[in-house]
Structure 1
Amino acid sequence: MMAWAMRGFTLGVALLVALTSWALSAWLPWPGALLAALLLAVVIHAAVVALGFALARLLTDRGGPAGPPGWLAAMPKEIYLSLRNMYLDIPWRHRWPIRMPARARGAVLLVHGYGCNRGIWRDFDTWLAARGWIVAALDLEPPRADIDGFGAQVAAEAAALALRTGHPRVTVIAHSMGGLATRAALRMAPGAPIGHVITLGTPHRGTWHARFGRGECAAQMLPDSPWLCDLQTAETPAVASRCICIASHHDNIVCPVDRALLPGAAASLVVARVGHMALAHDAGVRAFIEERLAALHAPEAVESDAA
């Protein structure tokens, strides 16, 4: 569903670019007019992303001690990835098969965030598979539904992946809202075969930017929303101890940084100069994930070798 919506959006932008280039052709040769129209579209997109960074910085400065410098440094990669995700990965590259390496070290389920689909994991999926991990993902549908419904989908997909691969426990790597959906899965299906959860930029304590979203899931991500309060009240310390949180001082969506950290989590990593979508592509974040996955699945490797 999200892919088709973004295909329609992409085609609409393409039409606007064509009309703009036609209008500019009165003053420029058509190749120059087309290039100018494309550059204008990119500049508008970049300006929207920059406004998100500006708001995030304002909220961070108001929310407590200022973090390290790096807001401007985080912007170029975030702009590039948001363009790639919006116009390529989400509408056209979301269909990819489960990655099944010959000698698997464990199974990983990827869960996307708000307004996205499994297409955002392109490149990350092959990076994990090249290191010996079985990798699967799902699309949370419909996109504007409530997070509890997404949680049921995560629990079901984790069970299906465990059954298919023969691994008793699945590690979930979740971006943004996907982390909340996974926590919801653990609340409603405590017996789901989810061993640990690694969250990237998840608004565990909500995000002010959710005010710009639409749908029930966006309202549930507001700071101190009834849904978030109920989730925190229902959770036991054992749930948090299964979570590993990754956050950025310069996240343009979830800020200040402590909103992406879950009290009682088993481990946390806070990086700098990395935007919201760029968390899954940062070299330091990937090194940390690789290290944590190896540690979490070490018992499985020992059992496999013994067999």
Structure 2
Amino acid sequence: MFDRQVADSNGRVAVHHASGLARLQQGLMLGSLALAAGWSLWAWSWSGPAALLGVLVLLGGYAVVLALEFVVVGVVNRSDPTPRAHAGTLLCAWWQEVRVAPRVFSWRQPFRWRCLPDEDVPPAPGRTAVVFVHGFVCNRGFWLPWMHELRQRGVPYTSVNLEPVFGSIDTYGPLIDDAVRRAHALTGQPPMLVCHSMGGLAARAWLDAVPGADQRVSRIVTIGSPHHGTWLAQFSRVDNGRQMRIGGDWLRSLQAREAGTAPNHRYDRFVCWYSNADNIVFPAATATLPGADNRHVPGVSHVAMAFHPQVMRDTLALLPRA
């Protein structure tokens, strides 16, 4: 279940030597480009506009899917206590997601996920390291902007590739445990977990499953995590997708176990970022936890929230100064 450690061409022990998700997204991206090129060559001979339209649909059709998500967000969030996002706000959030999605899912994750590897991070005794836990259909490449920032600051970090991609959230615990262990070895201090989307649930499942795990981390920051599920999960047919259903058996079981172990202070060390324009985790308040430091960042979409300047700045401000 752990990433098998192998030596790379420079003799370093590579913690993350493979990513099934990267291979999948590489195939999808290259296949889409090939299909678009083939269509344009075939269609151009009889209609230039049709050729261009086909390319736009093949490469930009995701923008239509995103638009439908934001329409649903506007409807579903009407009953949520979080202040509603107006149509103009949702339109801006849609444009945020249209711009950020290709960078994450068509470039960083499929082709750049090996950059800034964990094994290159030098020890920093006495500091607090960061453990990055990504979300659904992602890998460690998601966090490259954060990793670049931490390298500039001299802050150590470790990361995970949560695989199998569509497996149970419960199976990710050993991967998080290993990343926490490696982070502690770099500094001698309990690290801070930074989790996006499903990664927040994976962190909670690890905290619940491993005795004493809550003493091994200093703080848990979640960004757009479906702590109480998400409306979209009702349509999922994969294991971890079904586990994120609102009121689902897996979430109710996790909440019951958490309540039994620490009924009053379970979420004291959680910081939960959430948004009224999150197009994946909604209704908006499902990304909050009782007793946690819940921080609303209005008008920001799901993936873009992880790279929002306020979210990054204020999250890194939680790290103790060296």
* TM-score in terms of structure 1 length: 0.88
User: Cα distance 1:126–1:276, how it changes in 2: closer, same or farther (>3 A)?
Assistant: same
1:269 matched residue in structure 2: 295
1:217 matched residue in structure 2: 240
- Cα displacement (A) at 1:14: 1.6
What is the number of equivalent residue pairs in this alignment?
292
**Any conservation in 1 of the 2:156–2:183 contact (CA below 8 Å)?**
no
* CA deviation profile, 1:109-165 (whole Å, cap 9, x unmatched): 1000011111111212112222231122110010111111112321222112212x0
Mark the runs of 5 or more structure 2 residues left unpaired by the alignment: 1-19
**Any conservation in 1 of the 2:124–2:187 contact (CA below 8 Å)?**
no
**Any conservation in 2 of the 1:155–1:186 contact (CA below 8 Å)?**
no
2:220 matched residue in structure 1: 197
2:104 matched residue in structure 1: 85
User: Cα distance 1:132–1:5, how it changes in 2: closer, same or farther (>3 A)?
Assistant: same
Mark the runs of 5 or more structure 1 residues left unpaired by the alignment: 302-307
- Cα displacement (A) at 1:195: 2.0
- Cα displacement (A) at 1:40: 3.0
Q: Distance in 1 between matches of 2:101 and 2:303?
A: 7
SS of residue matched to 1:202: coil
SS of residue matched to 2:158: strand
**Any conservation in 2 of the 1:18–1:34 contact (CA below 8 Å)?**
no
SS of residue matched to 1:123: helix
SS of residue matched to 1:198: strand
Q: 1:150 corresponds to which letter in structure 2?
A: Y
Structure 1 range deviating more: 212-221 or 225-234: 212-221
**Any conservation in 1 of the 2:201–2:227 contact (CA below 8 Å)?**
yes
* CA deviation profile, 1:176-223 (whole Å, cap 9, x unmatched): 000000011110113232221100000000001123434211111000
* TM-score in terms of structure 2 length: 0.84
Q: Distance in 2 between matches of 1:187 and 1:173?
A: 17
Does residue 173 in structure 1 map to residue 194 in structure 2? yes
**Any conservation in 1 of the 2:82–2:276 contact (CA below 8 Å)?**
no
**Any conservation in 2 of the 1:162–1:168 contact (CA below 8 Å)?**
yes
2:4 matched residue in structure 1: none
Q: 2:94 corresponds to which letter in structure 1?
A: M
Q: CA RMSD in A?
A: 2.1
- Cα displacement (A) at 1:35: 5.8
Structure 1 runs of 4+ off > 6 angstroms?
none
Q: 1:239 corresponds to which letter in structure 2?
A: R
Q: Distance in 2 between matches of 1:92 and 1:167?
A: 33
Q: 2:268 corresponds to which letter in structure 1?
A: S
**Identity over the aligned pairs, expressed in percent?**
33
Structure 1 range deviating more: 61-70 or 46-55: 61-70
1:25 matched residue in structure 2: 44
Q: 1:250 corresponds to which letter in structure 2?
A: A
User: Cα distance 1:249–1:46, how it changes in 2: closer, same or farther (>3 A)?
Assistant: same
2:266 equivalent among 210, 218, 239: 239
Does residue 289 in structure 1 map to residue 315 in structure 2? yes
Structure 1 range deviating more: 141-150 or 65-74: 65-74
Q: Distance in 2 between matches of 1:210 and 1:9?
A: 23
Q: Distance in 2 between matches of 1:177 and 1:77?
A: 20
Q: Distance in 1 between matches of 2:121 and 2:225?
A: 27
SS of residue matched to 1:227: helix
- Cα displacement (A) at 1:84: 1.7
**Any conservation in 2 of the 1:140–1:150 contact (CA below 8 Å)?**
yes
2:65 matched residue in structure 1: 48
**Any conservation in 2 of the 1:176–1:199 contact (CA below 8 Å)?**
yes
1:127-166 to structure 2, matched below 5 A, reads 127-163=149-185, 165-166=186-187
